[in-house]
């Protein structure tokens, strides 16, 4: 079965750029989606199909995908961006989630 690998944690200084990676075998050939989950809340879709933002998601959130790594980039990080972030792909009619990354804004 397909596996997605994310770092357990990423730290970023307030106002700087955070990058969260999602690794998988030839993941660039798949569409990657990203979710944000704040403590005590349900996940929210922030990027779909590699780089598309749903309505209501700030332009500070962007995504890219190539080779064996997909990346979620959060520009001008704010305290409110502190959350767990999960990548996800669709593989052989199965939903596959990464293990999640905790983003800390310092």
Partner 1 sequence: EVQLVQSGAEVKKPGESLKISCKGSGYSFTSYWIGWVRQMPGKGLEWMGIIYPGDSDTRYSPSFQGQVTISADKSISTAYLQWSSLKASDTAMYYCARLSYCGGDCYSAWFDPWGQGTLVTVSS
The residue ranges that bind partner 1 (CB under 8 A) are 1, 30-31, 33, 35, 37, 42-45, 48-49, 54, 84, 86, 88-90, 93-100
Pairwise CA distance, residues 21 & 97, whole Å: 13
Tokens of 37: 């989950």
Q: Of 17 and 25, which CB lies nearer to partner 1 in the complex structure?
A: 25
CB of 18 to partner 1, least distance (A): 19
DSSP class of residue 53 equals: P
- 44 vs 64 by CB, closer to partner 1: 44
CB of 30 to partner 1, least distance (A): 7
Torsion of CA 74, 21, 81, 105, to 10 degrees: -100
């Amino acid at each position: 079965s397909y596996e997605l690998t994310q770092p357990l944690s990423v730290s970023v200084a307030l106002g700087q750029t955070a990058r969260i990676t999602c690794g998988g075998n030839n993941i660039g050939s798949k569409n990657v989606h990203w979710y944000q989950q704040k403590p005590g809340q349900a996940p929210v879709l922030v990027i779909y199909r590699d780089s598309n933002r749903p309505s209501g998601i700030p332009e500070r959130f962007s995504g890219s995908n190539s080779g064996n790594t997909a990346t979620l980039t959060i520009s001008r990080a704010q305290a409110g961006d502190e959350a767990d972030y999960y990548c996800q792909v669709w593989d052989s009619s199965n939903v596959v989630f990464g293990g999640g990354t905790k983003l800390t804004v310092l």
